Each structure stands twice: as C-alpha cells, then as structure tokens.
Amino acid sequence: MSRIIISNADYPSTLASARILGKKGHEVFVADSKRFKIACYSRFAKYLECPSFSDSKQYSDWLVKQQGYFFPASDVAVWYASSRRKQMKAKTILPSEKTVNICLFKDKLDAFCRENDIGTPKTYFPVSYSDVKDISRKVNYPCLIKHRTTVGIVIEKKGQVVFSPEELVSKYRKDALAYDSAMIKKVCPDVEWPMIQEYVPGAKENMFNTVGICSRDGIRLIVGKKLRQEPPKLGIGICTTPIKNMDLIPQAKKLLIKSGYLGPFSMECIYDKRDRRYKVNDMNPRITGVMQLAVANGINIPELWYEMFSGKTFRDEVVVGDTVYLRMLADILYLPGNFLHSRDKISFLRYLLKSYLGKKQLAIFSASDIKPSLVELVMVLRNKIKHPIRYIKENITGE
C-alpha cells in the first residue's frame, strides 16, 4: 500500500478522502501547520506537521522533499504543487500549469471562457482606482466585488454586494499579497485588484455544481443544485442535491476538453434566465467539499484519482443519483439566513425536508469515525461565541 499526503486538514474533502483511502489500507497523512483540525483526528489518517502556506520558502522546501503521493485539497496547495511540480519527489495528478492558472485566476478564466464561447457573468477587471470610478458609472447594480484569486491573499469573506456607484467606490479596496508574491505576480500581474462582477438575477436559486474527475480518455461527473450556503448570499455550499441537468453538461465538458483538463474538479455555474445560458462562476482544480455528492452517488473520486497513477483510465459517464450532500452543523447554524434570503419560501421548505428526511451524505459525521465531528463542534461553537456579531450579521445580510 502507498504513502498518501492530503493537504488542508480542516477541509471536509480532506477528511472524506482520508477515510476512503485509509479504509483501502493506504498510509494516509493529513498535512497541516496546526493539529486541531477535523481530519487530524480521523482514525484513518495520521497527522503530518508542515509549514504554514504563508511561509512560501519553508512550505516549498517541505513540499519538494515529500515522498509518496500528494493530494492537494485547496487552491493554495494546488498552486504550490503546480508551480513546483518539477522539483517535487511526490507524485501528483494535476492539469498543466497553464490550465491550473486558468482555474485559479478569475481574469484568466473569464478570458478563456469568452475565447471559447462558454458563458460567464459580465465582469470588469480594474487596474486602478480611476478604472473603478469609470466602471461604477456603467456597471448594473447590484454588483459584486470579488477577489481575482484565493491564492496569495488573506481572505475574510468571499465577496461583497454593493448597490450604488458611491458604495462601490467607497468599499473597493486593493488586496494585499501575503505570500509567494513574486511568483504569483509573474502569472497575474494585476492580482491585487479585485474584480467587479454583475449580480445575476436569481443567482442564489440557480446555482449549480458540476463535480467529477477527468482521465485521458473520459470524464465522470454529476450535476448538483446548490440549496444552501454559508453565508447565505456569497458563501460555500453546505447542502447540495443531485439533479438531472443535461443542458449544463455540454458546457462543462467543453471547458474541460478545451483546457486539456486532468484530475478532480468542481465547476460552479449560474443559470441566467435573461439569455437562458449557464455562466461559469468558478472552477476548482481539486477536490472540494461537494466532492462527497459524487462519492455518495457512485463516483469515488479519491479511488479513481489513485488508480490513475497506475495508468487506469475510464470512459465518459454522467451519474444521476438521489443522495444529498449535507454539512449539517453549518446548515443548522445558517438556516435562519438561508430562509430569510430565499425567494421561494415554499420551495425552500420542500428542499429542507428532503435534505433531512431523505438519503444524505453527511460531510463530517460518521458513526465509525466520531472524533472529527466532535472537533468540528468545538471549533464552530468557539468561533461563533468569539464572534457573535459577525455570525448574526452573516445571517441577516447574507454576506
């Protein structure tokens, strides 16, 4: 059996992958700079201390020395593995460096989609405060201020909604690179300038995830509809249901094939009723929490990823299942906000009942591996008690 290192011990996707690969008999390590993270307490994995991502030199030196197989679970881990792949001793499966950069940097993703006639929301990329003022006079409101990337910058929240030119100009602030700035700026010189994106009407009720894995010969994927988020308007998915959506699949495959994609992925799209097109909002070149939607419905991404090292491939397959992905503790905490910001309260309640009474895959809890869920409970309650105003505000404003 093999030595497998998975990054980001606080991610549900890391925990899920550790359980799957650990049950197969592999020696699984979850790498993090701090031990009190959910996956560190799984009985299917061992904790491996590593430097913080924020210390570029130390983390890079650590990464290139590791042996075995490396499974990056965050954008930052993908960035380090991709940009240092030639020096790494550990084996990993990633798309080409060019494709990784298209996924990680929103201006590159936007340009790629437009060049290939793939839908994407109307987005502006200012490079000065003068540009921001010009954009404020022509963008439709409400609009979003969003980071160009999650790599290299300190992120407190995913983005913010603004409703007027004055608010846009007053709230727009440059990001500051906190680590690996020289290498990041080589790829994206204007990375510190956040983008300004239109807010697609009805976006919250029309958000979809295409999750799967690509080999040389085929793509296995499932489509899910995002039901609830943390925070409710601009956040990560905490409940997703599988759906049959054959209209979205050709666009997802087009992006994957045109970019020469290889490995696990999660693509987020918004359906825009104005022109009846799906708009690519995000492309994650890695496993994400919603990967468990795929696993629960028959696409075992961690197993397939490991098998690809031995040259195994697979043919195209679209799975339509009936098991919902649910991060229960977060879902309970943000139910008030998700209900408050839902347009169709009846549909919200119907999906709520389905997700709790029907078949579901819990993100953290497992009766055979209980410690991670206890760690999550302590971490979440500690955070909400420490920042009660922020928690209440997130539910009320949705951001």
Q: Give the pLDDT confidence of 245-303 residue by residue, as tens digits.
A: 889 999 999 999 999 999 999 999 999 999 999 999 999 999 999 999 999 999 999 99
> 273, 201 in Cβ contact below 8 A?
yes
> Residue 260 gets which letter from DSSP?
T
- Cα–Cα distances in Å, from 21 out to 3, 17, 73, 304? 10, 6, 14, 11
> 285, 81 in Cβ contact below 8 A?
no
- Cα–Cα distances in Å, from 262 out to 113, 164, 222, 317, 399? 18, 41, 16, 15, 33
Q: In what order do the strands lie in the sheet with 159-162?
A: 123-124, 195-198, 143-146, 159-162
Question: Which residue(s) pair with 271 in the sheet?
Answer: 278
Q: How far apart are CA 66 and CA 77, in angstroms?
A: 14
Domains and CATH numbers, the chain: 3-92 (3.40.50.720), 122-198 (3.30.1490.20), 203-397 (3.30.470.20)
Residue type, 288: T
Number of H helices, E strands in the chain: 16, 16
Q: So what's the pLDDT on residue 204?
A: 87
Q: How far apart are CA 126 and CA 105, in angstroms?
A: 14
Average pLDDT of the chain?
95
HSE-up of 359 (CA within 13 Å, CB side)? Answer: 7
Q: So what's the pLDDT on residue 296?
A: 97
Q: So what's the pLDDT on residue 51?
A: 97
Q: So what's the pLDDT on residue 300?
A: 97
Low-confidence ranges of the chain (pLDDT < 50): none
Whether cis (ω within 30° of 0) applies to the bond prior to 165 is: no
Prediction pTM value: 0.94
